Amino acid sequence: MIKQYSTNKERRATRTRLKIRSRSELPRLSIFRSNKYIYAQVIDDQKGVTLAAAAGKNAKIVGQEIAKKAGKAKITKVVLDRGGYRYHGRLKILAEAAREGGLTL
């Protein structure tokens, strides 16, 4: 059966996740952005659990917060899951803030 995608974003996100899951044993930092908020989760795909999560309006604060929560869970290395978005704007700010907070992407 062929999966039908409603948007190109869904196609890009699925393709990215398949590559990340098949190649890495590291947890993934998944990012979702709406018009108003930005959400970040550190997910262990092997166990299917969320290890840390943060959300807010300011991408830099969310990036610092996710790095702090991941550090408390003893996570220093993650793989960035852009979720079909370009590495640009709020997503780039969040990723750089997470790096400054101690995460290795």
HEC profile of 59-104: HHHHHHHHHHHHHHCCCCECEEECCCCCCCCHHHHHHHHHHHCCCE
- Residue 24 above 80 pLDDT? no
28-74 residue pLDDT tens:
999 999 999 999 999 998 889 999 999 999 999 999 999 999 999 99
pTM for this structure? 0.86
So what's the pLDDT on residue 2?
A: 64
- Residue 5 above 90 pLDDT? no
The maximal CA–CA distance of the chain, rounded, in angstroms, is: 44
Strand order in the sheet with 38-44: 49-56, 38-44, 28-33, 79-81
Query: What does the mean pLDDT of the chain come to?
Result: 91
User: What class has domain 8-100?
Assistant: alpha beta
Distance CA 16, CA 13 (A): 5
| pLDDT interval class at 22 (50, 70, 90) | low
Name the residue ranges covered by the structural domains of the chain: 8-100
